[in-house]
A and B are shown apart, each in its own frame.
Chain A
Amino acid sequence: MTFLQLIRIRVAAAAPGLALAAIGLACLAVALGQPFRLPSGRPGPGFVPALIAGALVALGLLQAATARGAPPAGRGGARAGAMLCLAVAGFALLLPWVGFLPASWAAGSLALAAAPGLRLRAILAGGAALAVAATALFLGALGLPTPVIGLPR
């Protein structure tokens, strides 16, 4: 194993800890901008967040310093994760503009495409069936005040 490979493994192992410490540092900076004590002498709104953020920085750095070997990555490729996240994003993006049915169709189709092996036509048809069922449930049966298609009033 070369020195460069060792460094790479070390960085990969330390990455989660460093990321947590960085988040903690950012939170600490924000928390320190809040009053630490109120005029009454009571602990202020920045008191507990600063304590916890400080702890997060320390824990993240300690984790990064003591991490041994890169954690074995989860199995499989990124397709499932990417498609399911895109499905949620598609629903959030489309719902306010085109209504419930098209947003559900997009979400259902993208989610069906999360695993390989299904043709595009089947994915779109499956997505459409799911969208119709979801629209019937939420808008028809539960009376959700959202337009089926189009902009909300």
Chain B
Amino acid sequence: MTEALAMLYAGLGPALEPANLLLCLAGVALGTLVGVLPGLGPVATIALLLPVTFALPPAGALIMLAGIYYGAQYGSSTTAILLRVPGEASGIVTAQEGHLLARAGRAGPALGIAALASLLGGLVAAVVLALLLAPLARFAIAFGPAETAALMLLGVAAAVALSPAPLLAAWALAALGALLGLVGTDVAGGRPRFTFGIPELADGIGFIPLAMGLFGVAELIRALESGGAARRTLPVGSPWPARREVAAATAPALRGSLIGSAIGLLPGASTLLAALAAQAAERGLFRRRGRWGQGEMAGVAAPEAANNAAAQTSFAPLLALGLPANATMAVLAGAMFLQGIAPGPAVVAERPDLVGAIILSMLVGNAMLVALNLPFVGLWAAVLRLPLRLLAAIVIVLSCGGLWASSGSVFDLWLLLGFALLGWALARARLDPTPLLIGFTLAAPFEEALRRALVLARGDWSVFLAEPASAALLAAAATVTALAAWMRCRPG
């Protein structure tokens, strides 16, 4: 508790700096925008904005990028409720009951409840994050190289298990990502690997062109291919819910916040999983009490609180263990590396000001989101009329210009094209690129940990089973993989 308070105190100054408050506002506004627009999710947006973060200080960059992630969860509810089309994956759960409410003329109050529930989810998650980060980091800092390697394997196993791709294909993509992550000069021997005599590859494949191509450009292609026409929305009306609606939605939102906060802590977990679990819990507990299937406010409050809470607590595995829980966190890990900060327990111990500022910015950002979403809900709904073609053109020109501005390398532009083509091919084959990105992010630290573990054990591989923590983590990775295989083989 004292550690949490000390961390928050250290972060108070940077979080309340006017420049960082502005970046927080920019992040949550942009997050809401991309959450509202079906076709450009937070992963793509954060990936596309990576060049911008070069010019920002670490705290400001991470505050803005975090704002995009949880802001997108807010924005997604607008599209889900008004169109029954999720702007972000987790919105699909809100869409079920939320759109029925909109069709019954309660779109405004449903959007209002979504915003207030998200606020509650965000506040609960920020508290959970503050309380858990220091103990988690203390636990992880005691890890030796064998445990670190096993932990990374567990992270990849979790990402693979939750990928919609076939299990073997997802593992293969993670391996491909790891190989891409090993391109460049070997840190131990100083020899170039997989560079084929190309000097630009000596420092490895740039994270920005990879993330921008694989997620940013490829996601735009996918959105345009699935029809990017402007859509008609249902009328919104006043977003202020009645007092009895707020009272009825408070308990589901609180339960959703707790469920979402817990799920966000798991490696590989997603905001969609959190929203699904929260809605399933509400339906299971109160099926007879509500108006499920006809427009139930709890069906909006619980998943909205859960997805926002999970988005925020998913920072815990990244900041305390150095383990990106999902694609967005992998891109954020890349942003941290670009700022010269290696995510992991050392960040929590050595940079409490940075971690505290991120957590406090979540409190501020959530309040900003309510202020942005409730009075201006009509404006966000109007954004849906923006043609996707125009959005795609703006994004492409800004991405190319941004990448050129950050790296000054035409080679990186060709890499961007290569990864856009790869992302497009994966989308055509219905393969999710998340395991590839996570494999890429973890490759270098995994190699270092594996080599160090083997050196310390004089080449004896049994070290991974001899250390109890390492054996437990490997067993967890095997269990997660076996469960995922069983789920995929189950009929229906």
B182, B397, B443: the one within 8 Å of A107 (CB): B397
In the bound complex, do residue A63 and residue B193 qualify as a contact, i.e. CB atoms below 8 Å apart?
no
Q: How far is the CB of B394 from chain A (nearest CB, A)?
A: 6
Give the total of A residues in contact with B, Cβ under 8 Å.
68
Interface of B is mostly: helix
User: Which residues of chain B are near A108, meaning CB under 8 Å?
Assistant: 393, 396-397
Q: Within 8 Å of chain A (Cβ to Cβ): is B146?
A: no
Instruction: Scan residues 427-461 of chain B and give those whose CB is less than 8 A from a CB of chain A.
Output: 427-431, 443, 446-447, 450-451, 454-455, 459
Cβ contacts under 8 Å, A9 to chain B: none
Q: Report which of B169, B175, B224, B392 forms a contact with A24, defined as CB distance below 8 A.
A: B175
A19 to chain B, nearest CB (A): 9
Assess whether B451 is in contact with A47, with CB atoms less than 8 Å apart. Answer: yes
Residues of A within 8 A of B424 (CB): 81, 85
Q: With A49-B194, A81-B424 in contact, do A114 and B224 touch (Cβ < 8 Å)?
A: yes
Q: How far is the CB of B78 from chain A (nearest CB, A)?
A: 23
Asked if A56 and B175 make an inter-chain contact with CB atoms under 8 angstroms apart, the answer reads yes
Contact (Cβ within 8 A) A75 B225: yes
Residues in B whose Cβ lies below 8 Å from that of A148: none
Which A-chain residue is minimally distant from B183 (CB atoms)? Answer: A49
- A126-B393 contact, Cβ under 8 Å, with A91-B400, A146-B404: yes
B416 touches A88 (CB 8 A): yes
Judge if B162 is at the interface, Cβ distance under 8 Å: no
- Give the residue among A23, A55, A67, A114 with the most B Cβ atoms within 10 A: A114
Q: Is the CB of B401 within 8 A of A85?
A: no
Residue B417 is within 8 A (CB to CB) of chain A in the complex: yes
Cβ–Cβ < 8 Å partners of B383 in chain A: none
The CA of A148 and the CA of B115, in the complex, are separated in Å by 44
**CA distance in complex: A129, B212 (Å):** 23
User: Which of B215-223, B276-284, B324-332, B343-351 participates in binding chain A?
Assistant: B215-223
Contacts of B179 in A (CB 8 A): 23-24, 27, 49, 52-53, 56
Q: Is A137 an interface residue (CB 8 A)?
A: yes
Binary B-proximity of A105-142 (CB < 8 A = 1, otherwise 0): 00110011011001000000011001100100110001
Nearest-CB distance from B319 to chain A (Å)? 26
B226 lies within 8 A of A49 (CB): no
Question: Which residues on the A side are within 8 Å of B220 (C-beta)?
Answer: 80, 84
CB atoms of A134 and B224 under 8 A apart: no
Judging by beta carbons under 8 Å apart, are B225 and A81 in contact? yes
Q: With the chains together, A111 CA to B387 CA distance in Å?
A: 13
Closest to A104 in B: B397
Distance to closest chain B CB from A27 (angstroms): 5
Closest chain B CB from A99 CB (angstroms)? 11
Contact B401 A138 (CB under 8 A): yes
A76-B225, A84-B224, A134-B397 known; A52+B410 contact, CB < 8 A: no
| Cα distance, A56 to B169, chains bound together (Å) | 10
Tell me which residues across on chain B come within 8 A of A49, comparing CB atoms.
179, 182, 193-194
Complex interface residues of chain B between 15 and 60 (CB less than 8 A to chain A): 55
- Given A63-B172, A92-B417, answer yes or no on A142-B405 (Cβ-Cβ < 8 Å): yes
A-B residue pairs in contact (CB < 8 Å), sample of 26: A16-B429, A16-B431, A17-B169, A20-B172, A42-B188, A45-B189, A48-B446, A48-B447, A52-B443, A71-B430, A74-B225, A74-B430, A80-B225, A81-B225, A84-B396, A85-B221, A91-B397, A104-B401, A107-B397, A111-B396, A112-B390, A114-B393, A130-B397, A134-B401, A144-B401, A146-B404
